C-alpha cells in the first residue's frame, strides 16, 4: 500500500476562500463574527475539486490513500482572535471530513488546530486539544498539523518544547495520534513562504526538539517534520557535533524514536541524501500535492511533486526499506489509520 502522509485541500471550492475573507474583514472592521453556518458548499463541488485534482494524480501515481488536511499556508493563525481561529479551524476541518466521507479509503483526515499567537497562546493550546479530540473521535481523523510559528513569519512564540504546549501533547498521547510540525503562511516580507518560511521552520523546529527533554516527558509522542526536514539531512553532522559539544545524548538516541521525516523533496539528489542520512524506519512517503510546486520539471518530464517517481530512481534501498517508506511507517506512526482503513474495507464488503 502506498500512503501519502502529506496532502492538503488546496483545491477547495472558492466559497471557502470567500467565507474566510468575509470572516477576517468583518472582524477587523467591526469586531463582529461571520457564522460558519453561512458557508454553503455542495457535495458535487467537493467531488469536482477532488476528482479533477488530488484524486486524479493519486490514481496516476499509484497512491492508495492520502492523509488529508486543510491548506497549511491558509491556516494563518495571526488573523483575528482565538474565536476567529477556532471558527476557521472547525470550518476547514469539517470540510476535510466531508472529503473523507465522499471518498472513503482514499482520504483520511488530519486536522488544523486553532492556535493563536501572543497572550492568547495558552488558552488556544487548550482549544487545540479539544478540537483534536473532536476531529479524532467524531470524524475519524488520525493526526493534526501543529504550527511552530503561530505569529506567521515572525517567530514570536515559545518553542514547541515549552510547557505551554503540554496540554496538547497530553491529549495527543491519550488519543495516540502524531502531529506534523508544519508552519503556515509568512506575513514577513523578508521570508518567502514555501521556500524560505517552510524550510526554515522545519529546520528550526528540529533544533528545538534536539535541545529539549520533551521526549523524556512524553516518550510515546510522535511528530513528523515535513519537506524532508528542511536543512536537517544536509547538516546532520553539525547537529551531531553540537549535541556532543553540549553534552547531550547522541542525536539518534535523542530524536529517532519520536521524530519522522517525509519525502516532500523535489529532486533526485535531495531524495538520495534524505534516505541515505535518515534511517528508512524514520521516513514516510509524501508528496504534498497539489501544493508548493505545481509545475513539470523539464529535466525529468515529471511534475516536481511526483515524489514516487523520484523515490523509484534512488538506488540502494532494499525491498524492506521501500515497504517501510511506502506505507508501513505511516501505519506505525499514525496507528489509528489502520482502523479507519479496516472499517472502510469492511463497509465495502
Catalytic positions: 288
Rg (CA), the chain: 19
Phi/psi at 72 (nearest 5 deg)? -65, -45
Strand arrangement, sheet containing 223-225: 3-8, 65-69, 107-111, 143-146, 179-181, 223-225, 259-262, 283-284
Q: Are 4 and 287 in contact (CB under 8 A)?
A: yes
Separation CA 233–CA 235 (nearest Å): 5
Q: Are 252 and 266 in contact (CB under 8 A)?
A: no
Phi/psi-derived region of residue 230, left when phi > 0, alpha when psi is between -120 and 50, beta in every other case: left
Cα 331 to chain centroid, rounded? 16
CA–CA separation, 105 and 130 (whole Å): 25
Q: Specify the 3-state DSSP secondary structure of 307.
A: helix
CA distances from 86 to 23, 244, 255 (A): 12, 42, 31
Amino acid at each position: 500500500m502506498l500512503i501519502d502522509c502529506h496532502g492538503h485541500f488546496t483545491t477547495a471550492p472558492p466559497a471557502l476562500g470567500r467565507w474566510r475573507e468575509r470572516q477576517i474583514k468583518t472582524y477587523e472592521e467591526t469586531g463582529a463574527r461571520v457564522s460558519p453556518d453561512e458557508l454553503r458548499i455542495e457535495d458535487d463541488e467537493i467531488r469536482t475539486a477532488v476528482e479533477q485534482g488530488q484524486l486524479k494524480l493519486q490514481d496516476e501515481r499509484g497512491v492508495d490513500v492520502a492523509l488529508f488536511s486543510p491548506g497549511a499556508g491558509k491556516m494563518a493563525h495571526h488573523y483575528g482572535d482565538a474565536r476567529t481561529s477556532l471558527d476557521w479551524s472547525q470550518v476547514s476541518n469539517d470540510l476535510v471530513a466531508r472529503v473523507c466521507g465522499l471518498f472513503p479509503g482514499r482520504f483520511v483526515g488530519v486536522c488544523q488546530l486553532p492556535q493563536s499567537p501572543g497572550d492568547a497562546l495558552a488558552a488556544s493550546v487548550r482549544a487545540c486539544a479539544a478540537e483534536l479530540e473532536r476531529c479524532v473521535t467524531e470524524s475519524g481523523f488520525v493526526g493534526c498539523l501543529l504550527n511552530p510559528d503561530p505569529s506567521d513569519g515572525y517567530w514570536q512564540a515559545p518553542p514547541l518544547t515549552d510547557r505551554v504546549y503540554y496540554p496538547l501533547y497530553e491529549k495527543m498521547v491519550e488519543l495516540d495520534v502524531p502531529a506534523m510540525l508544519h508552519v503556515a503562511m509568512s506575513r514577513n516580507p523578508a521570508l518567502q513562504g514555501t521556500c524560505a518560511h517552510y524550510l526554515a521552520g522545519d529546520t528550526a523546529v528540529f533544533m528545538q526538539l534536539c535541545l529539549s527533554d520533551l521526549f523524556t516527558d512524553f516518550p510515546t509522542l510522535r511528530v513528523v517534520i515535513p519537506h524532508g526536514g528542511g536543512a536537517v539531512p544536509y547538516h546532520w553532522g553539525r547537529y551531531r557535533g553540537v549535541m556532543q559539544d553540549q553534552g547531550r545524548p547522541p542525536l539518534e538516541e535523542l530524536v529517532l524514536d519520536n521524530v519522522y521525516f517525509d519525502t516532500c523533496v523535489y529532486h533526485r539528489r535531495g531524495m538520495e541524501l534524505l534516505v541515505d542520512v535518515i534511517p528508512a524506519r524514520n521516513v514516510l512517503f509524501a508528496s504534498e500535492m497539489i501544493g508548493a510546486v505545481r509545475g513539470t520539471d523539464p529535466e525529468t518530464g515529471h511534475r516536481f511533486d511526483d515524489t514516487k517517481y523520484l523515490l523509484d530512481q534512488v538506488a540502494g534501498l532494499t525491498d524492506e526499506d521501500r515497504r517501510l517508506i511506502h506505507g508501513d511507517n505511516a501505519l506505525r506512526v499514525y496507528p489509528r489509520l489502520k482502523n479507519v482503513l479496516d472499517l472502510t474495507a469492511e463497509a465495502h464488503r
